[in-house]
């Protein structure tokens, strides 16, 4: 398999001791198997996330993303930028498209970047890890290293918003994307095709600020997974993962439910299927333990 | 009334659509709305909005400046982009809502204690301080935004989740002493200062 190299933009939540650190653990293991070399963009900064607009405004947000692009161009010339976080990818890609479309915005951005001793030339594409897997490798290629089947586990593929809209994965529908289901089936799991909450919003940042409004979203997402017989939820987005896992106990209090369903990343499923240990798959990072997956990981 | 707001009222008089068009991110698109209501119907928090997007667009065109800019509707946007992908005229609705919220905030008209407004400010300030988000400080700042005793209550309410995250090594108590950050944070601060200056110049903001 051809070795592929990318400029890696991990994002704040993937750092050590942060909320999606187990995501990064599993991505590293998965990439090692697939012979993908991720080189972190040196001294990368926060993308501003979805909520940055409130205080940050337009140009400061774009400038934050452009700083990462300029650093990638200078230090990792010719490499495409890959993000694992949905919000990082979306924010960065939006900036890239706006800068490409407006020479005025590009000039303003570079005027600001100059203050940090940088200049952005408008090169590298910004891609999500899932895009890279599907488009640069393909399901057949990704299936080759599978040594353990996740047979017998039913997964609700929860795609969420920002890996799906407004950009999404090429060729997928916004209303019913199927790539996550295909990834689940690829590792031998059972994907619940009728899972009707797969593109529902988890409440995003409002899960923190206005929980009474956004927890209804989480309730619907989890409830539908149970109704369709899912044993686990799988997602490509760090905020979806965090909101749906962490707030289940709050949702239980609010609605009198008894939810307790593990929420995993696609990369954790793939790491286990590729023969990685529970630790390599970041399963020790689950608040709600994915016992069935741990058992498979510990099988010789 | 803030200086920036007085200046805006004088400059644009009764033409709120022009004001939005010139000063709000992607605001020029408002005139393209054909009032089909797909955005309002597609919004996950639609029922929580006093005025869903379609209504906000009509209010802008009707010159209801005060009602729009003091509304907490735009702050209900979860950035899910459902409205954008479904809009038959391809309006960047999410960005317009973000732009309106930011503009109202900038003019000092947005509801003071709107929780998502507070969250957004805390988030951005946290992110730019060291160049990266410090999740621990961010959560604590949010819990304690209404004072110490409310902060303790909020933190206790989230105790189980917090301990769970701590145990799972997804929350690092030592982040309180600084944590992750960028080496080039001085450059980041300088570059953001310049970006704010340029933005103010482009959009004719006085303050």
Please name the residue ranges forming H helices in A35-175: 53-56, 58-75, 86-101, 103-113, 129-131, 139-143
**pLDDT at site B35:** 98
Q: pTM, whole model, 2 decimals?
A: 0.96
Size of interface A-B (CB pairs under 8 A): 226
Eight-class DSSP state of B35? -
Please name the residue ranges forming H helices in A144-282: 179-186, 206-209, 211-227, 238-246, 248-255, 266-273
Between positions 273 and 292 of A, the ones with CB within 8 A of B are 284-287
- Of the candidates A60, A166, A217, the beta carbon closest to that of B44 is on A217
Eight-class DSSP state of A237? -
Three-class secondary structure of residue B73 per DSSP: helix
Arithmetic mean of pLDDT over chain B: 94
Task: Using CA coordinates, name the residue in chain B closest to A246.
Answer: B161
Arithmetic mean of pLDDT over chain A: 96
- Of the candidates A49, A59, A213, the beta carbon closest to that of B199 is on A59
- Which CATH fold topology does A146-298 show? Rossmann fold (3.40.50)
Three-class secondary structure of residue A264 per DSSP: strand
Taking the C-alpha atoms of residue A280 and residue A241, their distance in angstroms, rounded to an integer, is 18
Q: How far is A2 from chain B (nearest CA, A)?
A: 33
Taking the C-alpha atoms of residue A33 and residue A20, their distance in angstroms, rounded to an integer, is 21
- Per-residue confidence band for B206, with pLDDT thresholds at 50, 70 and 90: low
**pLDDT at site A233:** 98
- Per-residue confidence band for B1, with pLDDT thresholds at 50, 70 and 90: low
Taking the C-alpha atoms of residue B198 and residue B24, their distance in angstroms, rounded to an integer, is 15
Taking the C-alpha atoms of residue B74 and residue B101, their distance in angstroms, rounded to an integer, is 6
Task: Assess whether pLDDT exceeds 90 at residue B3.
Answer: no
Place of tokens 């997007």: B53
| Cβ contact A201–B161 (<8 Å) | no
Task: Using CA coordinates, name the residue in chain B closest to A52.
Answer: B124
- Which CATH fold topology does B3-107 show? Fumarate Reductase Iron-sulfur Protein; Chain B, domain 2 (1.10.1060)
Three-class secondary structure of residue A36 per DSSP: strand
Task: Assess whether pLDDT exceeds 60 at residue A294.
Answer: yes
Task: Give the residues across from A40 on adjacent strands.
Answer: A8
Three-class secondary structure of residue A157 per DSSP: strand
| Cβ contact A18–B135 (<8 Å) | yes
Name which residue leads in pLDDT, B177 or A256: A256
Taking the C-alpha atoms of residue A29 and residue A196, their distance in angstroms, rounded to an integer, is 31
C-beta of residue A128 within 8 angstroms of C-beta of residue A83 = yes
Question: Could you give the count of Cα atoms lying within 13 Å of B155 in the half-sphere of its Cβ?
Answer: 17
Q: What is the mean pLDDT of residues B2-25?
A: 93
Torsion of CA A251, A256, A261, A263, to 10 degrees: -10
Which tokens go with B181? 């950050």
Which tokens go with B109? 């008209």
CATH 1.10.1060.10 domain extents, chain B = 3-107
Three-class secondary structure of residue B7 per DSSP: helix
**pLDDT at site A36:** 97
Task: Assess whether pLDDT exceeds 90 at residue B207.
Answer: no
**pLDDT at site A123:** 86
Taking the C-alpha atoms of residue A269 and residue A267, their distance in angstroms, rounded to an integer, is 5
Q: Which of B107, B95, B89 is nearest to B16 (CA)?
A: B107
- Per-residue confidence band for B146, with pLDDT thresholds at 50, 70 and 90: confident
Q: How far is A108 from chain B (nearest CA, A)?
A: 7
CATH 1.20.1050.140 domain extents, chain A = 4-130
How long a stretch of residues is chain B? 207
Three-class secondary structure of residue B139 per DSSP: helix
User: How wide is the angle at C-alpha A44 spanned by C-alphas A42 and A49, nearest 5°?
Assistant: 160
| Alpha carbon distances (Å) from A183 to A168, A204, B164, B174 | 16, 24, 29, 37
**Residue of B81, B99, B125, B190 best to disrupt the A interface, most CBs of A under 10 A:** B81
Q: Which residues of A touch B142 (CB under 8 A)?
A: 208-209
Q: Does B153 touch chain A (CB under 8 A)?
A: no
> Tell me: the pLDDT tens digits for B122-140?
999 999 999 999 999 999 9
Q: Which residues of B touch A62 (CB under 8 A)?
A: 195
Peptide bond into A166 cis (omega under 30): yes
| Alpha carbon distances (Å) from B3 to A171, B9, B114, B197 | 49, 10, 22, 17
Task: Assess whether pLDDT exceeds 80 at residue A252.
Answer: yes
Three-class secondary structure of residue A40 per DSSP: strand
| Cβ contact B99–A53 (<8 Å) | yes
Q: Which CATH number fits domain A4-130: 1.10.3470.10, 1.10.10.10, 3.40.50.620, 1.20.1050.140?
A: 1.20.1050.140
**pLDDT at site A2:** 52
C-beta of residue B168 within 8 angstroms of C-beta of residue A29 = no
> Tell me: the pLDDT tens digits for A173-218?
999 999 999 999 999 999 999 999 999 999 999 999 999 999 999 9
Task: Using CA coordinates, name the residue in chain A closest to B123.
Answer: A52
Q: Which of A116, A42, A178, A221 is nearest to B128 (CA)?
A: A116
> Tell me: the pLDDT tens digits for A81-111?
999 999 999 999 999 999 999 999 999 999 9
Place of tokens 């001294």: A43
Q: Does B194 touch chain A (CB under 8 A)?
A: yes
> Tell me: the pLDDT tens digits for A15-70?
999 999 999 999 999 999 999 999 999 999 999 999 999 999 999 999 999 999 99
| Alpha carbon distances (Å) from B149 to A61, B139, B140, B152 | 34, 15, 13, 5
Between positions 146 and 185 of A, the ones with CB within 8 A of B are 161-162, 165-166, 174
Q: Which residues of A touch B170 (CB under 8 A)?
A: 17-22, 285
Between positions 155 and 174 of B, the ones with CB within 8 A of A are 160-161, 164-165, 168-172, 174
Q: What is the mean pLDDT of residues B184-192?
A: 98
> Tell me: the pLDDT tens digits for B36-82?
999 999 999 988 899 999 999 999 999 999 999 999 999 999 999 99
* H/E segment holding residue A25: helix A21-34
Which tokens go with A202? 């988890």
- Of the candidates B117, B165, B191, the beta carbon closest to that of A116 is on B191
Q: What percent of chain A has pLDDT over 90?
A: 97
Which tokens go with A173? 């529908």
């Amino acid at each position: 398999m051809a070795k592929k190299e990318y400029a890696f933009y991990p994002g704040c939540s993937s750092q050590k001791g942060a909320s999606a650190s187990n995501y990064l653990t599993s991505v590293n293991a998965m990439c090692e198997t697939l012979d993908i070399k991720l080189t972190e963009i040196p001294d990368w900064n926060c993308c501003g996330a979805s909520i940055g607009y409130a205080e940050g405004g337009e140009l400061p947000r774009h400038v934050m993303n452009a700083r990462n692009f300029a650093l990638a161009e200078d230090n990792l010339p010719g490499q495409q930028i890959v993000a694992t976080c949905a919000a990082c990818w979306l924010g960065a890609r939006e900036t890239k498209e706006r800068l490409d479309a407006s020479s005025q915005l590009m000039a303003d951005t570079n005027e600001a970047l100059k203050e940090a001793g940088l200049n952005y030339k408008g090169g590298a594409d910004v891609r999500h890890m899932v895009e890279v897997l599907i488009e640069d490798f393909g399901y057949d290629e990704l299936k080759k290293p599978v040594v353990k089947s996740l047979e017998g586990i039913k997964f609700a593929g929860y795609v969420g918003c920002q890996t799906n809209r407004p950009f999404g994965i090429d060729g997928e529908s916004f209303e019913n994307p199927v790539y996550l289901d295909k990834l689940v089936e690829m590792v031998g799991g059972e994907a619940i095709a009728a899972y009707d909450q797969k593109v529902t919003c988890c409440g995003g940042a409002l899960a923190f600020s206005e929980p009474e409004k956004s927890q209804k979203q989480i309730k619907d997402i989890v409830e539908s997974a149970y109704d369709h017989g899912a044993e686990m939820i799988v997602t490509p987005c760090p905020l979806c993962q965090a909101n749906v896992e962490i707030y289940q106990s709050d949702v239980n209090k609010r609605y009198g439910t008894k939810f307790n369903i593990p929420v995993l990343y696609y990369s954790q499923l793939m790491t286990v299927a590729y023969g990685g240990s529970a630790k390599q798959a970041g399963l020790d990072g689950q608040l709600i333990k994915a016992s069935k997956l741990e058992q498979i990981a510990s099988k010789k | 009334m803030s200086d920036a707001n007085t200046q805006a009222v004088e400059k644009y008089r009764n033409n709120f659509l022009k004001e939005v068009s010139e000063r709000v991110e992607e605001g020029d698109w408002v005139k393209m709305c054909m009032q089909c209501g797909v955005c309002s119907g597609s919004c996950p928090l639609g029922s929580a909005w006093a005025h869903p997007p379609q209504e906000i667009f009509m209010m802008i065109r009707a010159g209801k400046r005060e009602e729009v800019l003091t509304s907490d509707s735009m702050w209900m946007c979860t950035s899910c982009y459902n409205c954008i992908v479904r809009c038959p005229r391809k309006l960047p609705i999410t960005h317009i809502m973000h732009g309106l919220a930011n503009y109202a905030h900038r003019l000092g008209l947005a509801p003071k204690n709107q929780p998502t407004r507070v969250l957004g400010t805390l988030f951005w300030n946290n992110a730019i301080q060291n160049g990266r988000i410090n999740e621990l400080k961010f959560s604590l700042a949010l819990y304690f935004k209404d004072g110490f005793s409310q902060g303790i209550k909020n933190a206790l309410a989230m105790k189980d989740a917090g301990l769970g995250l701590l145990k799972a090594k997804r929350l690092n108590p030592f982040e309180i002493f600084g944590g992750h950050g960028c080496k080039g944070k001085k450059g980041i601060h300088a570059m953001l200062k310049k970006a704010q200056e340029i933005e103010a110049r482009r959009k004719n903001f006085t303050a």
